[in-house]
Amino acid sequence: MNENGKDKKSVYENLSEINVKPKLEKKGKLDYLSWAMAWGMVKQVYPDANYKITEFPEYVQTKNGWEATGRDVDYRQTSAGVEVEAVVTINGESYSSKLFVMDYRNKPVLNPNYFDINKTQQRALVKALAIAGLGLNVYAGEDLPSPDDGKAKPKEKATKKAKPQVTKQFTDKQLLEYEITDSKGSVKLVQVVAEATAGNKDSAATLHSLGGESKEAYSQIYHRKLYKNWLGSPSEVGK
């Protein structure tokens, strides 16, 4: 055991405690975390962490259909577009993220150049690190911006003055009873947060997909550490 007691906590707990907000950069109106900054923060906590970009057998489309070239490349060409995958390994656990190369409208690019492929690989790496716990609450419900996401869009004629958004404040009891729907059905959000904190990758991915009110509820559960009540005594939740 080291003097900081990091071996007592899961990878998710250690990485989710890192405040990434001072390191965020702007791309248009969106915040994003650069791959170099994200990787540097992880290596400070886990010096033995490593990552790789998955290689796939290369196929090219000919008049006779898709044919193998006999070599491997760090992207996968499909009829739907070009896909990449980043895999991060920390303490023997692997966290992966797959992304298609997209344009600024979030449409797959069928024949991207290698600059676009490389940028998407960097985004996949940061997303894999988010699934592991680094900055997950920042990126919950949204992908990292592509290079063109900050392009100006035509302004629509305003019909009403926008009302300022007010963040909903939940009571602890409301948060402990708050439910979301995942692939298995309805589940208490505090349970998902607790499982993700304990290292469950599926639960971490579920948190990453949240948006709107559920994202805010997750943020409040995490910052109030209500998930620790669930971990310690599930039978007491909601009382």
What is the per-residue pLDDT across 27-45, written as a single tens digit (0 to 9) for each? Answer: 766 777 889 999 999 999 9
- pLDDT above 80 (res 23): yes
- Domain assignment of residue 90, yes or no: yes
Mean pLDDT of 218-232: 76
140 and 178 fall within a common domain? no
Question: How many domains, the chain?
Answer: 2
87 belongs to a structural domain? yes
Tell me: do 43 and 135 sit in the same domain. Answer: yes
161 belongs to a structural domain = no
Structural domain includes residue 158 = no
- Looking at the fold, whether 216 and 106 belong to one and the same domain comes out as no
pTM: predicted TM-score of the whole model, two decimal places? 0.59
Q: Evaluate whether residue 232 is within a structural domain.
A: yes
Lookup: tokens for 166:
């007010």
- Which position has the higher pLDDT, 80 or 38? 38
Residues 24 and 59 in one domain: yes
Residue 2, pLDDT > 70, answer no
Same domain assignment for residues 34 and 142: yes
**Both 133 and 204 in a single domain?**
no
Q: Are residues 14 and 129 in the same domain?
A: yes
Same domain, 194 and 88: no
Q: Are both 110 and 171 inside the same structural domain?
A: no
> Which pLDDT score is estimated for 182?
67
Q: What is the mean pLDDT of residues 174-202?
A: 81
For residue 171, what are the domain limits? 167-239
Do both 95 and 195 map to the same domain?
no
Mean pLDDT along residues 196-224: 79
Same domain, 43 and 84: yes
